């Protein structure tokens, strides 16, 4: 069932990207879809942790919120860059976190890095190492709004 879903997704992706609908190209596409589906199947066996397909509305809502955060922090950082005094006070500190599952950790660490001004430099079992351009960025993370939103996704 999951493999069927993946091959359907891959086929749609191929058709959209190619734009040529002649037999030869379609046949090549079919071969690619079958090969990639096979690879994915094998990788899941090695990985031991197949990605669940629960892409709910929660994730879409979270991504929308994340995009807005990215815009806000970009504006802040652009202001700092254009300021003649260059008002940055970089810090490099540990951030204790309670996210536990690998998927949550990945999403959290990537979200932190995606917002300019904060950068995940290392991921450990119960804490991240964060480089922040200003102590305020660090404080915002400690407030835990982003973490709370990720935990509410229950992925």
Partner 1 sequence: MSVVIQWVSDILLLAGGLLCVTGGIGLIRMPDFFSRVHAAGVTETLAAPLLLVGLMLQLEWSLDMFKALMVLVFILATNPTASHAMAKAALHGGLRPWQADQDKTAGGAPSSNS
81 binds partner 1 (CB under 8 A): yes
Within positions 97 to 126, which residues make up the interface with partner 1, using CB under 8 A?
Answer: 109-111, 113-117, 119-122
Contact set for partner 1, span 33-62 (CB under 8 A): none
Does residue 90 belong to the site contacting partner 1 (CB under 8 A)?
yes
Q: What are phi and psi of 91, to 5 degrees?
A: -135, 155
Rounded CA separation 22/147 (Å) = 49
Q: Which is nearer to partner 1, 33 or 119 (CB)?
A: 119
Which single residue is written with the structure tokens 């086929």?
11
129 is an interface residue for partner 1 by CB under 8 A: yes
Of 65, 70, 49, 147, nearest to 105 (Cα)? 147
Looking only at Cα atoms, what is the longest distance across the chain?
Answer: 63
* Residue count, binding to partner 1 (CB under 8 A): 37
Q: How far is CA 101 from CA 33, 43, 45, in A?
A: 30, 20, 19
Structure tokens belonging to residue 52: 């669940």
Q: Does 142 bind partner 1 (CB under 8 A)?
A: yes
- Given the rule CB under 8 A, which residues bind partner 1? 16-17, 19, 70-71, 74, 77-78, 81-82, 86, 88-96, 109-111, 113-117, 119-122, 129, 131, 133, 135, 142
């Amino acid at each position: 069932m999951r493999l069927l879903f993946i091959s359907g997704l891959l086929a749609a992706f191929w058709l959209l990207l190619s734009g040529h609908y002649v037999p030869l190209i379609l046949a090549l596409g079919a071969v690619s879809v079958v090969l990639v589906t096979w690879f994915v199947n094998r990788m899941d066996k090695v990985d031991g942790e197949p990605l669940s397909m629960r892409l709910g509305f929660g994730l879409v809502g979270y991504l929308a919120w994340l995009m807005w955060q990215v815009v806000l922090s970009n504006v802040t950082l652009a202001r700092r860059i254009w300021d003649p005094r260059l008002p940055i006070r970089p810090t490099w500190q540990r951030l204790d976190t309670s996210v536990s599952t690998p998927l949550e950790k990945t999403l959290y660490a990537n979200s932190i890095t995606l917002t300019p001004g904060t950068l995940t430099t290392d991921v450990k079992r119960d804490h991240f190492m964060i480089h922040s351009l200003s102590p305020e960025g660090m404080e915002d993370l400690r407030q835990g709004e982003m973490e709370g939103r990720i935990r509410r996704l229950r992925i």
